Amino acid sequence: MLSFNHIKQKNVSFPNNQFIEFCIFLFNNHTMRIFTCLFFLSFGLNLSYNSFAQDTIYWRSDSKLRWEDFQGIPDSNSKYSAVSNPVIKYKLSANEDTFNIKVLCFFVKTKSWSKFKNSDTLLLHEQGHFDIAELFARKLRKAFSEYKFNYQTIGVDVEKIFAHSKMERTKMDLLYDKETNYSKNRKQQLLWNKRIKAEQIKLKKFAEKN
């Protein structure tokens, strides 16, 4: 199960207790002015670099989640057996001539939990949510690479691109949970594993260079 945190704001509804950092630095000669900086959308995370590094796992094709990575405290009132917290984070810097965007996908250990840590099938299902996040990180990189740069509107433009990606990711995560019945439908789980991997391969050129 993917954890969702719907923030009620105009045009904002972020999934999975998501921590999103959005920084735009606009440079004009030697003067830097902050256009839009740091939207933190999770439970007030304010982590030092070291603690952040210890609490996160960056997505890698040669590494899979383990139950030991689910370090959050299980919600005894939740009907779900496990909750994972994969995050997409991006930073954007720009001047009047060009822009640069870095997109990262990582898993937050202390916001992820499981009541049962003896099911390989359930673990594979939670890995699927992490893989879907990586898929949409690649889609986001592709969308940003195709963006026609406009210095005057870049802030609004980037927010629109991200909002669309966020909406599509949420739809896929919900459909994934529904069709696999949270890993209980093993046939559908295997089909989804293949589907996610195939879609990732199509966007291989937009994978983060490790």
- Per-residue pLDDT tens digits for 106-121: 999 999 999 999 999 9
pLDDT of residue 21: 35
User: In this structure, is residue 15 part of a structural domain?
Assistant: no
pLDDT, averaged across the chain: 82
- Asked if the model's pLDDT at residue 138 lies above 60, the reply is yes
User: In this structure, is residue 62 part of a structural domain?
Assistant: yes
What is the C-alpha separation between 98 and 154, in angstroms, rounded? 11
The whole domain housing 170 covers 23-206
CB contact at 8 A, 128 and 192: yes
pTM of the model: 0.79
Report pLDDT digits (tens) over 79-116: 999 999 999 988 999 999 999 999 999 999 999 999 99
User: In this structure, is residue 3 part of a structural domain?
Assistant: no
Specify the DSSP element, H or E, that contains 162: helix 154-180
- Asked if the model's pLDDT at residue 16 lies above 70, the reply is no
User: In this structure, is residue 51 part of a structural domain?
Assistant: yes
CB contact at 8 A, 63 and 50: no
What is the C-alpha separation between 29 and 69, in angstroms, rounded? 45
What is the C-alpha separation between 208 and 210, in angstroms, rounded? 6
User: In this structure, is residue 157 part of a structural domain?
Assistant: yes
User: In this structure, is residue 13 part of a structural domain?
Assistant: no
Query: How many domains in the chain?
Result: 1
